[in-house]
């Protein structure tokens, strides 16, 4: 007897409920991220919260914050330009318990999802820069104006900062981390399971309308959708 693998069973289930299906762009990104690293690490204490805190804010979140500042009468609430990837020191992870912060960030680095570095604040153009530890030098320069840019500001001690790699940051930016967290928890409960993040399919009853579910899959129990 030949039994289908769980990925094949998932494909068959999707074929049974739709005229066609494929992963959405977010789903392809989530699948690639899950293949690169074990998503179960998101279940470790503080790791998901740390990754979420390091995710670069989306434009709509920045706009919401700007509107709040203007409503409060903040005269300096003028933002513009591009948004750099967010970097933070361990002590700035407000949603992670203090005793878990360092371990969570180091766990992300060990999996290749984050990197360590120093933050440089240029005294000339005031721009902030993240410099990976292996690229630091004794005389740092601002990548924008070229002025000498020390790894500290206002006499504050130099602290190691952490930043998500561009791939993980893009996944977080597209809201995929909660999907992968749910998949990791479902697989923890039912190890013999397979799930696909964000599949998109046209409906059998309405061919021109596309339907997207956050997670579809197969396991020993009924399919999770």
Of the two residues 3 and 213, the one the predictor is more confident about is 3
The pLDDT, as a whole number, for residue 223 is 37
Residue 207 · residue 152 · CB < 8 Å: no
Q: What is the pTM of this model?
A: 0.72
* Interval 52-80: pLDDT, tens: 999 987 655 556 666 666 666 655 544 44
Q: Is it the case that residue 30 has pLDDT exceeding 60?
A: yes
Q: What is the DSSP letter of 42?
A: G
- Residues facing 114 on adjacent strands: 164
Residue 211 · residue 23 · CB < 8 Å: no
Cβ contacts of 172 within 8 Å, gap of 6 or more: 51, 52, 54, 55, 56, 164
The pLDDT, as a whole number, for residue 225 is 37
Least confident of 25-39, 42-56, 75-89, 140-154: 75-89
């Amino acid at each position: 007897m030949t039994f289908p693998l769980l990925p094949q069973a998932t494909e068959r289930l999707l074929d049974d409920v739709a005229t066609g299906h494929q992963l959405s762009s977010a789903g392809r990104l989530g699948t690639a991220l899950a293949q690169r690293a074990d998503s179960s690490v998101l279940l470790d204490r503080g790791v998901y919260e740390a990754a979420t805190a390091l995710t670069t804010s989306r434009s709509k979140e920045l706009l919401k914050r700007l509107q709040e500042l203007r409503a409060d009468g903040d005269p300096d609430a003028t933002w513009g330009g591009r948004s750099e990837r967010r970097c933070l020191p361990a002590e700035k992870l407000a949603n992670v318990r203090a005793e878990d912060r360092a371990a969570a960030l180091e766990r992300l680095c060990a999996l290749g999802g984050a990197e360590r570095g120093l933050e440089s604040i240029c005294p000339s153009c005031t721009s902030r820069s993240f410099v990976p530890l292996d690229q630091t030098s004794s005389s740092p320069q601002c990548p924008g104006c070229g002025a000498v840019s020390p790894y500290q500001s206002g006499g504050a001690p130099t602290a190691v900062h952490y930043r998500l790699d561009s791939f993980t940051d893009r996944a977080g930016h597209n809201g995929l981390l909660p999907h992968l967290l749910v998949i990791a928890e479902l697989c923890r409960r039912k190890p013999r399971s397979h799930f696909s993040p964000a599949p998109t399919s046209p409906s059998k009853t309405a061919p021109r309308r596309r339907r997207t579910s956050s997670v579809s899959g197969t396991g020993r129990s009924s399919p999770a959708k």
